[in-house]
Amino acid sequence: MNQDIKDGFDIFFRFVTAFAAIVAFITYRRSVRIKRIEWLHSFSEKFYKEDIYKDIRAILDYPEVNDEQYKILRGAAEKIVRHETNLSREEITKIEKLVDYLNFF
């Protein structure tokens, strides 16, 4: 009889342990999912709603609308590729904005 009670408690505690492990895993998965959603929301807020990247995004997304700005950016990038150092202040500003934009990712 004593052994039966010990076996019963052993089975009960194993069941409780397994159940607790399942609940802990489900809680962990939910927590990870929530953190991922929070990160994506933060990413979206920083990238789309703040004005930091708005100018360079407009130039890259709509080069035909921002033709003059696109030409300045492209010309500056070509000068850098050719290792030229005679960049204008405007070209340097555009390149710095492009670098910040690319470093976001």
One DSSP character per residue, 79-92 reads HHHTT-----HHHH
Query: In this structure, are 45 and 83 located in the same domain?
Result: no
Whether residues 71 and 94 share a domain: the answer is: yes
Asked whether the beta carbons of 73 and 98 are under 8 A apart, the reply is: yes
pLDDT tens, position by position, 62-75: 888 888 888 888 88
Overall pTM surpassing 0.75 (yes/no): no
| Range 51-67 average pLDDT | 85
Report the pLDDT value the prediction gives residue 1, as an integer from 0 to 100. 64
User: Percent of the chain beyond pLDDT 70?
Assistant: 99
State which residues form the domain around 101: 51-105
Both 9 and 43 in one domain: the answer is yes
What is the spatial distance between Cα 20 and Cα 25, in angstroms, rounded to a whole number?
9
Q: pLDDT tens digits, residue range 22-47?
A: 999 999 999 999 999 999 999 888 88
